[in-house]
Copies of this chain bind each other. A is one copy, B any other.
Amino acid sequence: MIMRMSSLFLRTLREDPADAEVPSHKLLVRAGYVRRAAPGIYTWLPLGLKVLRKVEAIVREEMDAIGAQELTFPALLPREPYEATNRWTEYGDSLFRVVDRKGADYLLGPTHEEMFTLTVKDLYSSYKDLPLSIYQIQNKYRDEARPRAGILRGREFVMKDSYSFDVDDAGLEASYQAHRDAYVRIFDRLGFDYAIVKATSGAMGGSRSEEFLAKADVGEDTYVRSPGGYAANVEAVTTLAPEPVPFDDAPAAHAEDTPDTPTIATLVDHLNAAHPREDRPWAAGDTLKNVLLMLKHPDGTKEPLAIGLPGDREVDQKRLEGQLEPIEVEPMTDEELKEFPALVKGYIGPAYDGRTILGEESESGIRYLVDPRVVEGTRWVTGANSPGQHVLDLVAGRDFTADGTIEAAEVKAGDPAPDGSGPLELARGIEMGHVFQLGRKYAEALDLKVLDENGKLVTVTMGSYGIGVSRAVGAIAEGTLDEIGLCWPRHVAPADVHLVAAGKDEAIFAAADRIATELSQAGVEVLYDDRTGKISPGVKFKDAELIGVPTIVVVGKNLATDGTVEVRDRKSGEKQALAADHVVAHLVDLVRTA
């Protein structure tokens, strides 16, 4: 196949598009791969479509290799099944909704658990039909609040979603493992650096869950890793709770005036001045911060929540919401705070002086959850529920008891890995794939049962496995680009060779034409810059660097002097002069052995 630049539907741009934030997005637009049609909605131009199709083909091959069967569901879906699983409501504003001419409600599918489940229910009825893995590669829709980063987070995007159906947990585990292995092969073949991290399953429910993250500074996902090999999405990190502390000889809780301590830092200064300690100075981690939030349910109702956590940590809203999905979290406003007269702003503590302020059974009645580090016996400095006063030596389990614990605190570099494998390091990534065990949530909601060996109806257990196919194109671009342009791994590049006819001599074009034809006949995909007229060799080189085909071949002046052409490796920049007569064989070999 030869794509000729003289007729290719392509215009490279020298300027970055105004709305582009991340490097890959800028380059994909500038190099003519994609173009914005609306916020978060992109057109795939010929070069971009070639890359997208190659990624799709790799995904398809590996899914087929594990016996998954491809089908295609509609993108426009009826409301009813999503009503049955409550996702019509839970998805909230993220769902694109459509009303047809008869007034019936539809949605543009964000994921297809319901449709897959119902179709299996429709066709299958016996344990003998299982296990089954089915998948599709198809447009998905989510009305993101802040579509950004081009195709990395679009509102219309291509996704591969597969689902496994098994009669028991062991079967699910095997299906999960098969998919996980296939994903490793897929991401290896796509040719970029990724991490596999533990994940929460979010709105999906279910148990075992892992994400495949492309390592990228621009990634929206933060994950952690330890020297001993622990890796998890921050949402999934569990805190290593300390052992309970004996508190028999702890002094009684006692309040004191703490004037001019509007912040934790000033409170710590006060403590170090008023109560200097010999072993170690007071620190923010000695204080108990009580954060008041409002939980917003999908149906619009709100409820208050108080979270107690060490003063050296903030609440990580994304981490918190990851556990509460589909509930959204907002700070409690001053107006809302007025509803709770027991709460003294700036001096809130869970209990003191015979009063209980936070907790379902307390004066405020607000549910009170604490960080797992707030174990029995730990002593805290916190608000005394009296203006200008804090209480010291407030002991968890003696002076106050929370309604439970919650993983709401930010994860920090240096925190211990929960499996004891060392201190955590933070990194950023782009979620490329997600495998998880849905379990029986959807099968129960939609009544998917089969007869087992004993003729008894059993509920099917499911796995759900997604790959962001269009996002992968962005992530590969992001992970491989350099300062001069895109730099595609060979297996997903829009062509194998970018052939440049550099000069005006007829002999140059004749030689380049011959090379293009011979390469094409040998099955090598050629992007051939055959443009004539005012396009200088310099412009052609810049375009080739920007477009990022892995091998650039320049037919130029040396052809006349010593009969050679130049073969450049786009990534390393290495150049090699080869006899024009031998270059085709060399390139065919290069491409075939890649």
Chain B residues whose CB sits within 8 angstroms of the CB of A69 once the complex forms:
8-9, 46
Chain B residues whose CB sits within 8 angstroms of the CB of A9 once the complex forms:
69, 71, 123, 132, 134
Residue of B nearest to A6 (CB): B128
Pick out which of these stretches binds chain B: A96-104, A329-337, A502-510.
A96-104
- Rounded to whole Å, the gap between the CB of A16 and the closest CB of chain B is 16
Q: How distant is the Cα of A42 from the Cα of B156 in the complex, in angstroms? A: 20
Within 8 A of B (CB), among A127-153: 128, 132, 134, 139, 141, 143, 145
Within 8 A of B (CB), among A35-68: 35, 37-38, 41-46, 48-49, 52, 67
- Sorting the interface of chain A by its residue count into under 10, 10 to 19, 20 to 34 or 35 or more gives 35 or more
Asked whether, in the complex, the Cβ of A145 is within 8 Å of the Cβ of B10, the reply is: no
Residue of B nearest to A46 (CB): B69
- Rounded to whole Å, the gap between the CB of A470 and the closest CB of chain B is 10
Chain B residues whose CB sits within 8 angstroms of the CB of A533 once the complex forms:
128
The answer to whether the Cβ of A155 comes within 8 Å of any Cβ in the partner chain is: yes
- Rounded to whole Å, the gap between the CB of A38 and the closest CB of chain B is 4
- Rounded to whole Å, the gap between the CB of A51 and the closest CB of chain B is 12
Q: How distant is the Cα of A139 from the Cα of B108 in the complex, in angstroms? A: 13
Asked whether, in the complex, the Cβ of A74 is within 8 Å of the Cβ of B43, the reply is: yes
Asked whether, in the complex, the Cβ of A101 is within 8 Å of the Cβ of B143, the reply is: yes
The answer to whether the Cβ of A124 comes within 8 Å of any Cβ in the partner chain is: yes
Chain B residues whose CB sits within 8 angstroms of the CB of A97 once the complex forms:
98
Asked whether, in the complex, the Cβ of A38 is within 8 Å of the Cβ of B74, the reply is: yes
Chain B residues whose CB sits within 8 angstroms of the CB of A37 once the complex forms:
73-74, 77-78, 115
A418-445 interface mask toward B, CB cutoff 8 Å, 1 = contact, 0 = none? 0000000000000000000000000000
- Rounded to whole Å, the gap between the CB of A494 and the closest CB of chain B is 12
Asked whether, in the complex, the Cβ of B106 is within 8 Å of the Cβ of A100, the reply is: no
The answer to whether the Cβ of A263 comes within 8 Å of any Cβ in the partner chain is: no
Chain B residues whose CB sits within 8 angstroms of the CB of A115 once the complex forms:
37, 43
- Rounded to whole Å, the gap between the CB of A291 and the closest CB of chain B is 28
- Rounded to whole Å, the gap between the CB of A142 and the closest CB of chain B is 10
The answer to whether the Cβ of A7 comes within 8 Å of any Cβ in the partner chain is: yes
Identify which of B35, B38, B77, B139 contacts A77 (C-beta below 8 A): B38
Asked whether, in the complex, the Cβ of B45 is within 8 Å of the Cβ of A71, the reply is: yes
The answer to whether the Cβ of A579 comes within 8 Å of any Cβ in the partner chain is: no
Residue of B nearest to A99 (CB): B97
The answer to whether the Cβ of A11 comes within 8 Å of any Cβ in the partner chain is: yes
Chain B residues whose CB sits within 8 angstroms of the CB of A49 once the complex forms:
70-72
Chain B residues whose CB sits within 8 angstroms of the CB of A67 once the complex forms:
7
A106-132 interface mask toward B, CB cutoff 8 Å, 1 = contact, 0 = none? 101000000100010011100010001
Q: How distant is the Cα of A150 from the Cα of B350 in the complex, in angstroms? A: 64
Chain B residues whose CB sits within 8 angstroms of the CB of A72 once the complex forms:
43-44, 49, 52
The answer to whether the Cβ of A292 comes within 8 Å of any Cβ in the partner chain is: no
Pairs of residues from A and B, 5 with the lowest C-beta to C-beta distance, nearest first: A38-B78, A93-B101, A44-B72, A11-B123, A41-B74
